[in-house]
Structure 1
Amino acid sequence: MRTTSIRTRTTTAATIAITITAVFGALVSVAASTPAHAAAPPRLDSLVDTAVAGYLEDDRIPGAAVTVVAGGRTVLAKGYGVADVRTRTPVDPDRTPFFLGSLAKLFTAQAASQLVAQGDIDPKADVNEYLRAVTVPDTYPGHPVTLDQLLTHTAGFDSDLVGRNRTGAKDVEPLAESLTTRRPPRVRAPGTIAAYDNYGYALAGQLVADTSGLPFPAYVDEHILKPLGMTRSTFAQPQPAPIAADLARGYRPSGASGWTQDRGQYGAWSPTGPGAVSTAADMGRWMTGQLTDDTPANRLMQQVHHRQDPRMPGLGYGFEEWRSGGRTGWFKDGDISGFHTNLLLVPGHDVGVFVVFNGDGTNGRASWDGKDLIHRIMAALVPEVPVAPVAPVVPVVPEVPDAPNVPNGPATAAPSGATADPSLDSYTGSYRPARVSRTSLMALEGLVAGVTVEKDGSNGLRTTGLSLDPGQPEQSWLALGDGLFRERGGTGATLAFAKDGVLVSSATPSTAYEPLTWRQSPSLHLALLGAGAGVLLLAAIGFPATALVRRLRGAPPHPRAARAARTIAVVAGLITAAFAAALAAVVSDGNAMMEAVPLGSPLLTTVTVLGAALVPLTLGVVAGAIAAWLRGWWNITGRVLFTVTAAGAVAMAGMLLQYHLVGAPFDWLAR
């Protein structure tokens, strides 16, 4: 878990009131002849300048860009720091393209929504009716995958991004080819649970291409970018030369004061993130279009199509529903190696904010910094709305509308008063993000990204691992009744336990959390992994030492088979040591790991090769333990110690198989 102290700044109610008055006064007074970017409202400019300067300095981020739109125009578009630490090129909001990461999904959703609005695609039909170059296997007969499910992360595909990205655009394979050769399995019936799904969005991009007859980048360029005047944005790989010449570089902190350039921002799955670039000014044009153009496609994007729990924020097409202080909007963030983006639209106030950093930041703080800045801007531009307490009602899950212009029903309002919940014990335990892979090396995320829920007094819960703030791993929640909780401290965040036991957080509507049995507990698995590794490491030291003492004493040698069994145990211990060192090198730097996983690396390959080697060695150690008792090798103490060694090897190998750390030769055993 990343931990670092978060910056805290306070703003008085009077200051907020003055800021709001000044901002909206300035918006009203902006002349119609204002050029591309209207003058930034008083105080908003200085608020953003001060905040971004703090992020760049405190978290060691090279550069950033921020755009704010309001009242149908761009009121702030500024660049900060440098786009390239070698050339010291300053960030220019009009000219510097940044990699968008998962914000690309908004354009994919918009493209698909346009085709739905035109009647070219039925969002509830089997996608195989429209796909030409790719076929979705019929894993769950009678439950086909639909476009609606692709765009709401409910299609049920497993997650596997290992080795999907490339260092350069010239190495990117065609989208359809990658969707076929690198297709993850379907692991759950579609429509059942939200689990953030990159493959699903890449498949939606192919659906756009097959239906429109245009390559996906060409469709986006012709039907979205050009109509909005987004001339410095593209999904093409490689980018056109004028755009490529000004691209920002992404970095992670290195050493005491330097940076290392991140790689791996390109890839075949461009509809889900890799390769897509845009400038801060262009993103202002896109946000303005979303806020002012009341098209059927935009309405489709900005309505809820899936709620994991009817009381919680849901999912639009591309967007996550956002709620804070009585305000509602649509949010999306994106992360790709070296780049972190956040975007929020608040249609009720005609306000939109886009923030991008070209650095991961110390301990990966850039992603949180973007959210923090949006929170500050919203506090200045959009006042909180008091919400009166309401009584609980029987929730009804809203249906997805048949027509694109029919709004989806609102979520059931939650009661605001605390109450003692007699069933708190039923909510405690371990939970795992549904996005965690079941079949690939990315299953390792389940070992470190679990959520723990404990009782906190007689009417509350405490969670660990659920917070998006790296400086606040623990959160305390007040019971509201019927499995609903509100975060203590006035943040407005809510937590719900659905009828099927799934945990839903208002901060992450695109990924629910599944309850784990005690056998699936990450704490248990970590203990088994640690105990197994410890036993094998002791064997690697103890058995050679014992053999040396026997030789020095002139004791007769043990049978050759017994010596071979101990040799196998020693080799297993040595490989365990090498495995632990390689794995530690991979996970020790979270920023570097963010590059290594989608790009692939020799170190990751080393981890899986060493893991694979431990599987047959474990079989050899177990066979040796059985033979030791059957043939009477060593004394009782020696046999017991070797049996403990075999048990440790089994525990170690079992966890390697569980988390797919054994590579291709034995990975099928874990499936």
Structure 2
Amino acid sequence: MTPAAPAVRTPSRSVQAVGFVLALLAGAGQAQLPAPVAPPRPAREPGAAPAITETAPARLDAADLAAFVDGAVEAYRRRVGLAGVSVAVVDAQGPLLLRGYGFAGLEPERPVDERSLFRIGSVSKTFTYLQALKLADAGKLRLDAPANDYLPPALRLPEDGYAPVLVWHLMTHTAGFEDSALGHLFAATPQASLPLNDYLQRHRPARVREPGTHAVYSNYSVALLGAVLAQVEGVGFEALLERDLFQPLGMHDSGFREPLDAGDPRSAPAALQALRSAGFARKDGGFESKGFEYIAQIGPAGAVSSSASDMAKYLRMLLNRGRLDGREILPPGVFQRLEDDPLVRNAPDATGFAHGFFRKRYGEVTSLEHGGATLYFHSNLVVLPELGFGVFVSTNTDIGRQFAAELPGLLIERYFARARTPAAAAAPADFAATAQAYAGSYLGERRTYTTFEKMLISSNAEIRVGKDHLVLSANGDSTRWLPEKPDVFRAERGPGRLVFLRDGSGRIGGFVSPGGHDVFDRAGFFDSSQNVLLLLGLSALSAVGVLFGLWQRRRQPRRPGAAVASARWLGLAAAAWLVFAGTFAVAFAQLAGDEALALFHYPTPLLRVALWLALPALLLSLLCLPLLWPAWRSRDWNAWRKLRHTAAVAVFLATGWGLWVWNAVGWKL
């Protein structure tokens, strides 16, 4: 589950589907980042958003709003191809638009309406965050206490050389976990959907940085926060959120429950099945209905299903600081924290977190928002308390990310002058020359560090310099960024900020992603998985050349000696590289060609075999290194053969180092 802005990042389409869930945009060295603000609650920091107010502006023309949204949806459905869309637009007084578009099911075709249930992905996290704030306000949970104080023994984080993880770190993505998704983030069947505590124990990621260093998006952290909340209240997580949020809000169709096996305490009522929208994949000019996406095993991070009608109530409650239709849903202290506590930011001008909610600037105003994605649903929730305006949008199609990301901004730009993107200042005349310091390759820190999954879900980004702007290329998309102040660039349109980070020597060491939830470090040659795959291809070609040369010389008389041994060992290494490269290519093609293998059945048996076959290739290549000396001393070899022999060893060793960096060896799977 991921914010809607970036998506799921890999060489293959099937693994890119996971990129929708993970948000991926090469680090020779990590940038030095300012530490996020600590959890206490002083007065609002300078430059922070003004307090949420209850003053409601004049209501928008609902008919004009409906006509605009109808046109926008129709345009995207025709241009991109969306099966169905669910939209709620509200102000503090009530709904302005509740509408469904397209279809929620095929055979028979069911239209989307305001009660159709869509999967909202990581928007679910906002309910988890608010529940944590409610318990903190009631004195049942201390945000600055170690998470282990509230966890059962089996889930407590082990001593691993890092400082304790605080509850607050889990809410702000600053616990320091690596990221992981393949084979466990989604489940293909109800039987494969583990209980939350079992999942958290079995799939615990390694911690790779000190907690509180900076924010890097983590589904695991929010799932662990859900376990904390359940332990504190002694109630199952799903029942807890129903008791404290969904039922008081009147969101009777919504919740974290899924259609699991009978007897599973997390299972949803059968009556809701008729309301659920299917998820669709765009295929051959039409739509293919896909199976249910089980997320209960990591439910607090993304399992909610909801409708436009129910999400409208949630939006109104947020706009009214915890009250809905005269009833108190959340105590004022919850919203006091959202308003007054300093934002957690990876840099002063970067997008920040208000206890898990993203806080973005739209012109003169600031939002509370969160995006979300599953494999086939893309959602976005944006609340502008200063304007008394909120939007929820969700699509049920795998290619719906762009529409979900863009619709709230289109509405904000159309109806609120204060929230429009101001005109950009002219770039300095020498911009193209001075901005070269930002150009280069970068590797995102939201990745796996300890296993081969790193090669499949890591994301590289490229910064190029234009005449008066920067171009950020990542995930197959390119965007323009205009200079705003030193090391800070704003999106050509919209609320995004691209903030560069300098290391201790004053050089550009990385940047904060526009969403604020990832950091990209300067990348060296081996920090690009594409470069390593190119090296592997070069090794295969070199291996063919080595074996062909041995075959050509098979009948030539040889004098015994170390040079002959060097040639034979190189031949063995070449054969090992060919076997590995061939097996690896087939295993990789399997993952690329079958989405289910990558998402639900990773790692495949063939991939296991392939990565263990890397070991003999690596060891034999290392053995060839000391044998270079006798090869160069041989009088039977001419200089050209010695150079070819050395080049082959160098290519094998370079490839081996690249595979090691990317964990492409058996025991690191």
Q: Is the Cα contact below 8 Å between 1:433 and 1:512 reproduced in 2? A: yes
Q: Is the Cα contact below 8 Å between 2:86 and 2:99 reproduced in 1? A: yes
Indicate yes or no: 2:659 matched with 1:656: yes
Give the aligned partner of residue 104 of structure 1. 124
Q: How does 1:446-465 map to 2 (within 5 A)?
A: 449-456=459-466, 462-465=470-473
Deviation at 1:52, TM superposition (A): 1.5
Q: Is the Cα contact below 8 Å between 2:187 and 2:295 reproduced in 1? A: yes
> Of 242, 245, 261, which aligns to 2:290?
261
Q: Is the Cα contact below 8 Å between 2:525 and 2:531 reproduced in 1? A: no
Number of residues paired by the alignment?
584
Give the aligned partner of residue 112 of structure 2. 91
Measure, in 2, the Cα distance between the counterparts of 1:169 and 1:319. Answer: 30
Report the secondary structure of 1:113's partner residue. Answer: helix
* Cα distance change of structure 1 residues 628 and 86 upon mapping to structure 2, 3 Å threshold: farther
Measure, in 2, the Cα distance between the counterparts of 1:456 and 1:329. Answer: 30
Indicate yes or no: 2:504 matched with 1:511: no
Deviation at 1:387, TM superposition (A): 9.3
Q: Is the Cα contact below 8 Å between 2:584 and 2:607 reproduced in 1? A: yes
Report the secondary structure of 1:74's partner residue. Answer: strand
Indicate yes or no: 2:448 matched with 1:437: yes
Give the aligned partner of residue 149 of structure 2. 129
Give the aligned partner of residue 217 of structure 2. 196
Indicate yes or no: 2:187 matched with 1:138: no
Q: How does 1:28-47 map to 2 (within 5 A)?
A: 41-47=62-68
Give the aligned partner of residue 305 of structure 2. 277
Report the secondary structure of 1:384's partner residue. Answer: helix
* Cα distance change of structure 1 residues 492 and 120 upon mapping to structure 2, 3 Å threshold: closer
Q: Which is worse superposed, 223-232 or 130-139? A: 130-139
Q: Unaligned 5+ residue runs, structure 1?
A: 4-22, 29-39, 390-414
Deviation at 1:378, TM superposition (A): 1.5
Report the secondary structure of 2:347's partner residue. Answer: coil
Measure, in 2, the Cα distance between the counterparts of 1:453 and 1:234. Answer: 41
Q: Deviations over 1:143-191 (max 9, x none)?
A: 3211211111111111112222211233222212221221111111111
* Cα distance change of structure 1 residues 144 and 416 upon mapping to structure 2, 3 Å threshold: farther
Measure, in 1, the Cα distance between the counterparts of 2:57 and 2:102. Answer: 29
Q: Is the Cα contact below 8 Å between 1:99 and 1:276 reproduced in 2? A: yes
> Of 409, 432, 449, which aligns to 1:375?
409
* Cα distance change of structure 1 residues 99 and 633 upon mapping to structure 2, 3 Å threshold: farther
Q: Deviations over 1:591-615 (max 9, x none)?
A: x75x65543346x553453133122
Amino acid corresponding to residue 78 of structure 1 in structure 2: R
Report the secondary structure of 2:275's partner residue. Answer: coil
Instruction: State, as a whole percentage, how many aligned pairs show the same letter.
Output: 24
* Cα distance change of structure 1 residues 571 and 367 upon mapping to structure 2, 3 Å threshold: same
Measure, in 2, the Cα distance between the counterparts of 1:485 and 1:609. Answer: 46
Deviation at 1:514, TM superposition (A): 3.1
Q: Is the Cα contact below 8 Å between 2:114 and 2:308 reproduced in 1? A: yes
Q: How does 1:145-294 map to 2 (within 5 A)?
A: 145-164=165-184, 165-237=186-258, 238=260, 239-259=268-288, 261=290, 264-273=293-302, 275-294=303-322
Report the secondary structure of 1:155's partner residue. Answer: coil
* Cα distance change of structure 1 residues 477 and 183 upon mapping to structure 2, 3 Å threshold: same
Measure, in 2, the Cα distance between the counterparts of 1:197 and 1:464. Answer: 23
> Of 89, 110, 118, which aligns to 1:68?
89
* Cα distance change of structure 1 residues 259 and 70 upon mapping to structure 2, 3 Å threshold: same
Give the aligned partner of residue 650 of structure 2. 647
Measure, in 2, the Cα distance between the counterparts of 1:106 and 1:434. Answer: 23
Deviation at 1:269, TM superposition (A): 1.0
Report the secondary structure of 2:483's partner residue. Answer: strand
Aligned-residue Cα RMSD (Å) equals 3.4
Q: Is the Cα contact below 8 Å between 1:63 and 1:83 reproduced in 2? A: yes
* Cα distance change of structure 1 residues 381 and 324 upon mapping to structure 2, 3 Å threshold: same
Q: Is the Cα contact below 8 Å between 1:67 and 1:353 reproduced in 2? A: yes
Q: Is the Cα contact below 8 Å between 1:321 and 1:328 reproduced in 2? A: yes
Give the aligned partner of residue 412 of structure 1. none
Amino acid corresponding to residue 610 of structure 2 in structure 1: L
* Cα distance change of structure 1 residues 64 and 596 upon mapping to structure 2, 3 Å threshold: farther
Q: Is the Cα contact below 8 Å between 1:72 and 1:291 reproduced in 2? A: no
Q: Is the Cα contact below 8 Å between 1:69 and 1:75 reproduced in 2? A: yes
* Cα distance change of structure 1 residues 360 and 376 upon mapping to structure 2, 3 Å threshold: same
* Cα distance change of structure 1 residues 476 and 510 upon mapping to structure 2, 3 Å threshold: closer
Measure, in 2, the Cα distance between the counterparts of 1:80 and 1:280. Answer: 11
Higher relative contact order, chain-length normalized (CA < 8 Å, sep 6+): 2
Q: How does 1:406-425 map to 2 (within 5 A)?
A: 424=435
* Cα distance change of structure 1 residues 178 and 660 upon mapping to structure 2, 3 Å threshold: same
Q: Deviations over 1:348-370 (max 9, x none)?
A: 12211111111111xxxx21211
Amino acid corresponding to residue 43 of structure 1 in structure 2: D
Measure, in 1, the Cα distance between the counterparts of 2:205 and 2:499. Answer: 30
Deviation at 1:332, TM superposition (A): 0.6
Q: Is the Cα contact below 8 Å between 2:10 and 2:457 reproduced in 1? A: no
Q: Is the Cα contact below 8 Å between 1:156 and 1:189 reproduced in 2? A: yes
Report the secondary structure of 2:151's partner residue. Answer: coil
Measure, in 2, the Cα distance between the counterparts of 1:290 and 1:247. Answer: 25
Measure, in 1, the Cα distance between the counterparts of 2:526 and 2:457. Answer: 10
Q: Is the Cα contact below 8 Å between 1:625 and 1:639 reproduced in 2? A: no
Give the aligned partner of residue 399 of structure 1. none
Q: How does 1:359-398 map to 2 (within 5 A)?
A: 359-361=397-399, 366-385=400-419
Q: Is the Cα contact below 8 Å between 1:166 and 1:266 reproduced in 2? A: yes
Measure, in 1, the Cα distance between the counterparts of 2:107 and 2:636. Answer: 65
Deviation at 1:505, TM superposition (A): 4.9
Measure, in 2, the Cα distance between the counterparts of 1:433 and 1:635. Answer: 47
Q: Which TM-score applies when normalising by structure 2? A: 0.78
Q: Deviations over 1:95-137 (max 9, x none)?
A: x212221111111101111101101111111111222242122
Measure, in 2, the Cα distance between the counterparts of 1:171 and 1:490. Answer: 43
Q: Which is worse superposed, 149-158 or 55-64? A: 55-64
Amino acid corresponding to residue 452 of structure 1 in structure 2: E
Measure, in 2, the Cα distance between the counterparts of 1:621 and 1:633. Answer: 23
Give the aligned partner of residue 617 of structure 2. 617
Give the aligned partner of residue 30 of structure 2. none
Measure, in 2, the Cα distance between the counterparts of 1:479 and 1:642. Answer: 53
* Cα distance change of structure 1 residues 114 and 343 upon mapping to structure 2, 3 Å threshold: same
* Cα distance change of structure 1 residues 119 and 580 upon mapping to structure 2, 3 Å threshold: same
Q: Is the Cα contact below 8 Å between 2:570 and 2:649 reproduced in 1? A: no
Q: Is the Cα contact below 8 Å between 1:100 and 1:339 reproduced in 2? A: yes
Report the secondary structure of 2:179's partner residue. Answer: coil
Q: How does 1:469-508 map to 2 (within 5 A)?
A: 473-481=478-486, 483-487=487-491, 489=492, 491=494, 493-498=496-501, 500=503, 503=510, 505=512, 507-508=514-515
Deviation at 1:260, TM superposition (A): 5.8
Measure, in 2, the Cα distance between the counterparts of 1:184 and 1:195. Answer: 13
Q: How does 1:580-599 map to 2 (within 5 A)?
A: 580-584=585-589, 586-587=591-592, 597-599=598-600
> Of 298, 309, 334, which aligns to 1:297?
334
Indicate yes or no: 2:375 matched with 1:337: yes
Measure, in 2, the Cα distance between the counterparts of 1:555 and 1:353. Answer: 78
Report the secondary structure of 2:611's partner residue. Answer: helix
Report the secondary structure of 1:166's partner residue. Answer: coil
Give the aligned partner of residue 24 of structure 2. none
Q: Deviations over 1:467-490 (max 9, x none)?
A: x8x65x142432523x33334x45
Amino acid corresponding to residue 292 of structure 1 in structure 2: N
Amino acid corresponding to residue 654 of structure 2 in structure 1: A
Report the secondary structure of 1:145's partner residue. Answer: coil
Measure, in 2, the Cα distance between the counterparts of 1:539 and 1:174. Answer: 48
Give the aligned partner of residue 533 of structure 2. 529
